[in-house]
A and B are shown apart, each in its own frame.
Chain A
Amino acid sequence: MKNNFIISEEEWEEIENFLKGDLPQETIDIMKKRLKDEPAFSEKVAHVRLLMTGIREVALEADLKKIRLPHGENVVHRIPNKKQYYFRWMAAAAIIAVVSAIAYFNVFTNSEHRLFSKYYFPDSGLVSSMGVSDNYDFDVAMINYKSGKYDQSIVEMKKLLLFNPNNDTLNYFIGNSFLALDKVDSAISYLKVVAVNNQSAFAKDANWYLGLAYLKLKQKEKAALFISRSDNEKKDELLKRISK
């Protein structure tokens, strides 16, 4: 590792902010150009990134060590001892019977998909427009959304998003459209933008749908985290069922 260059406090912070994306686009563009044109600067950026990554990795590992990984289910080995075949078949049949009973119970009570289906209702959409100059286009997209033409509404809203990349309304309804289409990963990426924006009127609802999206991915802990940040009237009821 090359580590013999001097990086001032100001320069260090500027590089950090660049790596975190916490700079105005204009400054980011200047930094990107410097990265290309100045090998010494490029080395400094790589150095700061290594230190930041190393520090985060130590801390993450320490946190992960506190987590108890789930053990417990029996594992069926691929090459069983011949003498144990008969017993294993019987045991397997018994296990299948028990597992089926549990699965049946779960499917009809608290399985993630069941909970998702029970609690997920697409946002009903907006009546009025979002108050920017693209009102007409947005209204068309919203009509498509409310008619259940989610593919169409995504295409139209994404065009508007090009001019308003951080617009919470657009991100929220694109996320909701993806969720309605069962494209969960895409839904998450849009809903997250809104969920962390405390200034947004949609933040609480975005947290609710983000939680439901994670429920669909069977990630109960994350689902609970985001649902707890929502203000949906069924929040407590759902959290209780998730924790069972």
Chain B
Amino acid sequence: MTDEEWTLMYKVNFASIRQFVLSNNGNEQQAEDIYHEAFMAAWRNVQLGKYEFRGEQSLNSYIVTIGKNKWIDVLRSARNKKTLPIAMDIESEESDDLLSDEERDIELVKDQFNNLGENCKELLVAFYYRKETMREISAKKGWTEATTRNNKYRCLQKLRELINRNIP
């Protein structure tokens, strides 16, 4: 699935999570936050090969399950692990908020990406996210393809330097 397709399916499962959160002491904002977290967790798990994509129907169920589990975690934490007021028959998908090393590394990449200059951010997003070709980016920027290629590599090196400086 392309990132464009992920974006298009963003609205699809929100209603289920919203119903669940609002029915269980949550508000609209919490429903949105939990849904966003669940959606991104599903996206990341697919990218890292932790969830094998078996079609969109299965993926929809997976996102909803993660979202419900995350909300249960919020309730548990808020109630200091007291018994929950409702019966929640959730499938046993992981809801772990404990980040793996790989996930922590991605968080570091994301943090440091935001510290790059605007030109670098724009170039890397165009290439990696919008899947624009070197030729398309060069035409937009008025660069030769060789320059675009060099600039992209320099931006990546800059990002790696920033990461190095901030490795905990």
Contact = CB atoms under 8 A, between A and B. Distances in A.
B110 A70 contact: no
A60 B5 CA distance: 11
A239 interface: no
A1 interface: yes
Interface in B66-125: 85-86, 101-102, 105-106, 108-110, 113-114, 124-125
A87 to B, nearest CB: 18
A58 B121 CA distance: 10
A120 interface: no
A126 to B, nearest CB: 27
Report whether over half of chain A's contact residues are helix, strand or loop; otherwise say mixed. Answer: helix
B24 interface: yes
Report whether over half of chain B's contact residues are helix, strand or loop; otherwise say mixed. Answer: helix
Contacts of A55: 109, 113, 124-125, 128-129
Contacts of B3: 56, 59-60, 63
A240 interface: no
Interface in B119-168: 124-125, 128-130, 149-150, 153, 156, 159-160, 163-164, 167
B110 A57 contact: yes
Contact of A221 (B8, B22, B164): B8
A127 interface: no
Nearest to A59: B129
Counting contact residues on chain A (CB < 8 A from B), the size range is: 35 or more
A75 B109 contact: no
A61 interface: yes
Contacts of A189: 55
A158 interface: no
A95 B129 CA distance: 43
B149 to A, nearest CB: 7
Contacts of A9: 149-150, 153
A12 B35 contact: no
A155 interface: no
Contacts of B7: 60, 63-64, 67
B15 A4 contact: no
A54 B113 contact: yes
A90 interface: no
Given A69-B11, A71-B18, A219-B12, A59 B125 contact: yes
Contact of B22 (A53, A70, A75): A75
A231 interface: no
Contacts of A184: 57
B20 to A, nearest CB: 9
A146 interface: no
Nearest to B130: A59
A132 interface: no
Nearest to A53: B47
Interface string A7-38: 00100110000000000000000000000000
Interface string A218-231: 11011001000000
29 contacts: A1-B105, A1-B163, A1-B167, A3-B163, A50-B109, A51-B109, A51-B156, A51-B160, A54-B106, A56-B128, A58-B125, A59-B3, A59-B130, A64-B10, A67-B11, A69-B10, A70-B11, A75-B19, A76-B23, A77-B22, A78-B86, A184-B57, A185-B54, A185-B57, A189-B55, A219-B12, A221-B8, A222-B8, A225-B8
